[in-house]
Amino acid sequence: MIDIKNLIFDYPGRRALNDISITVERGQIAALVGPNGAGKTTLLRCIAALHFPLSGKITIDGLDVAENPRECHRKLGFLSDFFGLYKVLSVKQNLSYIAMANGIRGEALALAVDRAAERLHISDRMAEPVGNLSRGLRQRVAIAQAIVHEPQVLLLDEPASGLDPEARKSLSDLFLELKDQGMTLMVSSHILAELEDYCSSMIIVRNGVIVDSDGQNQNVDVTCQINISLSRKIDDFAYRLQSINEITVIESDELCAQIEMSVSSESQQKVLHQLIQLDVPVCSFCQVKQQMQSTYLKQINSFDKNH
C-alpha cells in the first residue's frame, strides 16, 4: 500500500532521511519507532506529500506522491503533532469543512461527519467549539478529522501523547477497528508501550536510516509472549500445545506455559478458543508486555554494533 524506494530528504546542512526503502502492506498497522530527531515526522510528512524529498520515490496504492500529490491526499489521512483544528468553530463545523474540502457533498457529508464522530465517541460534543474541549477530546476530534473522508491510509504522528490511559485504550481499539475495515495505518511514536497493543509491524528509524540487523532493511513483525496458567495439572499439556499451528512454545510444564504468537487480538482469541476445544482448563491467558521494547532494543544494539 505504501512503497518507498531510496528516499533521501535533506534539511539545510543535515541529511534527515538517507536512502530509505520500506513497504507497508495493505491492512497493516506499522509502528514507526525511533528516538526523538530520528526522522519519523519527516518520513511521515514526505509520505503525506507535505515535504518534497531530494530524491527517491514514494507510491501510495500505486500513485506516485510527487507526481500526484492531490490524488494521494484523497487516499490519505494525517494527524500531525499539531491537531490542525479551528478553535472557534464547533466540532461539527471542523469535521464538515475537512469533509467538504475532500470533495464530500450533499447527503454524504452529514453521513461522513456523523460516522467519524461516532467512531471517536464525540457525537454528543458536535455543537461545542473545539477551543472549549480538553486536550484528549481535541485529539479525538483531530483523529475524526483525519478519517472523515474514509482514507485508505492513515498517518499518525504521536497520536497518544497527552492522552490518559482510558483514552489510549479506546484509541488502540479504534486503530484495530480501522485496520479490520481495511485501512492501512502508520503510527509514529517514541513510546513503545502505547504501540504494543495494536501494531502488526515495526519500522525502526535511527539517524535517518532504517535500522537493520542483517544488512537488509526490514520490517520486524511484532509478536508477543503469552503466559498460560491452568486450574489443574495436565500431563500432555505440551503435546496439546504443539497441535496449535499459530504458536511457538517457549517453555511449558504440566501447570503453565509460555508461548510466542502474533500480537493481534484475533489470533489470541483463536488460540484461546483452540485451547478450550482441546479441553485445556485455562484459568489465565495473559500477554507479557514489553515485547516490542525488547525487539526494538535488540535491533538498535545490533545496528549500533554494525555501524
Which residues contribute to the site for another protein (CB under 8 A)?
A: 10-15, 18-19, 48-50, 52, 54-55, 69-71, 73-74, 76-78, 80, 82-89, 93, 96-98, 100-103, 105-106, 109, 145
Task: Report, in Å, the least distance between residue 199 CB and another protein.
Answer: 23
Q: CB of residue 33 vs another protein: minimum separation in angstroms?
A: 21
Name residue, grid cell 534527515: 16
Using CA atoms, how far residue 31 sits from 158, 214, 241, 243, in Å, is 10, 20, 30, 31
> Which grid coordinates are listed for 17?
532521511
**Closest CB to another protein among residues 86, 239:** 86
Among residues 63 and 249, whose Cβ is nearest to another protein?
Answer: 63
CB of 251 to another protein, least distance (A): 43
- Quick one: which of 300, 212, 210, 306 has its CA closest to 8? 210
The Cα 2–Cα 5 span in angstroms is 10
In the complex, minimum distance from the CB of residue 176 to another protein, in angstroms, rounded to a whole number: 24
Q: Which is nearer to another protein, 53 or 222 (CB)?
A: 53
CA gap 235, 250 in Å, rounded: 17
CB-nearer residue toward another protein: 77 or 275: 77
3 state SS of 252: strand
Cβ closer to another protein: 76 or 202? 76
Output the CA–CA distances (angstroms, integers) from residue 14 to 8, 17, 18, 102, 283, in the order listed. 11, 9, 10, 35, 55
- Residue (87 or 169) nearer to another protein, CB: 87
Which residue has cell 492522552?
163
CB of 70 to another protein, least distance (A): 5
CB 87, min distance to another protein, A: 7
Strand partners, 185: 29, 154
